[in-house]
Amino acid sequence: LQMDIKIPGISFEIVEKSLEQAKVGRLHILEKMNAVISEHRKDIKDHVPRVLSFYIDKDKISAAIGTKGKNIRSVCERSNAKIEIGDDGKVSVFAISSTEAEAAKNMMIDSITELEQGSIIDAKVVKIEKSIVELELLNGRKGKMHISEVANQHVESIEDILKQGDTFKALIIDFEKGGCPKLSRRRVDQETGEFFEGKLYNEERRDGLNNRDNYYNNSFNKKPEDNYHSNRPTRPRSGFSNRSRPKFGNNDSSSGFY
């Protein structure tokens, strides 16, 4: 209730009457409002502007904002939303639809999520080389994938499976020394987004061996009769047999040693 009075000397009776009239007017307005809608709608249409708010750890605020605001600007541009981050870690998302608001929220949370080995994340193809695929991950971070991890089958060319701009689920299998994650597409079921439980494809060796382990097993498990050298007759290592070999210190002149 606000009442501006510029004339001095207002009486108590006037104040009392004014407040009573204000009460009657307020109740009349509420009655008309309740006749139209008595409570807020539980389901809001997608195109209705809305505000989402959530909290992040204070030590994640700098990562959420990014260097010179790079991360928060990127999220705003991709989601078409406006984001404000308070000193207490409260993140407010302003968007013209629920879809954009939820997208901005998920992007912001993903941008501050630490990458861990064994995690399954979204990846986007940025560049394709002969045997390496460069990927864009959460928060604009980069990752790499070898041609052997593209599909659960023999791949002659990466372009046969992927093209620039494609997105898919990828498994973080390792990290390079510089921290760049190594990813695998074939180890993730692309329909469910879960870890692939089936048998992984293993290309057979051109010489007919299944893999390197079989190669070594076949080499060391040969029978003696399979060895070419085992059929050769044995012979002494020197020109003397064990019986005729002279002993040092023998003074017999017939032995040829003195």
pLDDT at residue number 10 = 76
The architecture CATH gives domain 120-184: Beta Barrel (2.40)
Poorest-pLDDT segment among 117-126, 132-141, 183-192, 244-253:
244-253
At 134 the three-state DSSP class reads: strand
Cβ-proximal residues to 136 (8 Å cutoff; 6+ apart), any chain: 123, 124, 126, 142, 143
Tell me where in the chain the CATH 2.40.50.140 domain(s) lie: 120-184
The DSSP bridge partners found for residue 3 are none
pLDDT band at 150 (very low <50, low <70, confident <90, very high): very high
- If you ran DSSP here, which 8-state letter would residue 78 be given? H
What sign does the CA torsion over 60, 65, 68, 70 have?
positive
Joined together, the tokens standing for residue 190 give 């692309």
- Give residue-wise pLDDT tens across range 167-188: 999 999 999 988 899 999 999 9
Joined together, the tokens standing for residue 118 give 């064994």
Tell me where in the chain the CATH 3.30.1370.10 domain(s) lie: 50-111
Q: Which of 179, 173, 113, 177 is nearest to 145 (CA)?
A: 173
pLDDT band at 247 (very low <50, low <70, confident <90, very high): low
Position 65 pLDDT exceeds 80: yes
At 17 the three-state DSSP class reads: helix
Domain 50-111 has CATH 3.40.1180.10: no
The helix (run of H) or strand (run of E) holding residue 31 is helix 12-36
- Give residue-wise pLDDT tens across range 183-221: 999 999 998 889 987 777 764 443 444 444 443 344 444
pLDDT band at 62 (very low <50, low <70, confident <90, very high): very high
Q: How far apart are CA 12 and CA 9, in angstroms?
A: 10
At 41 the three-state DSSP class reads: coil
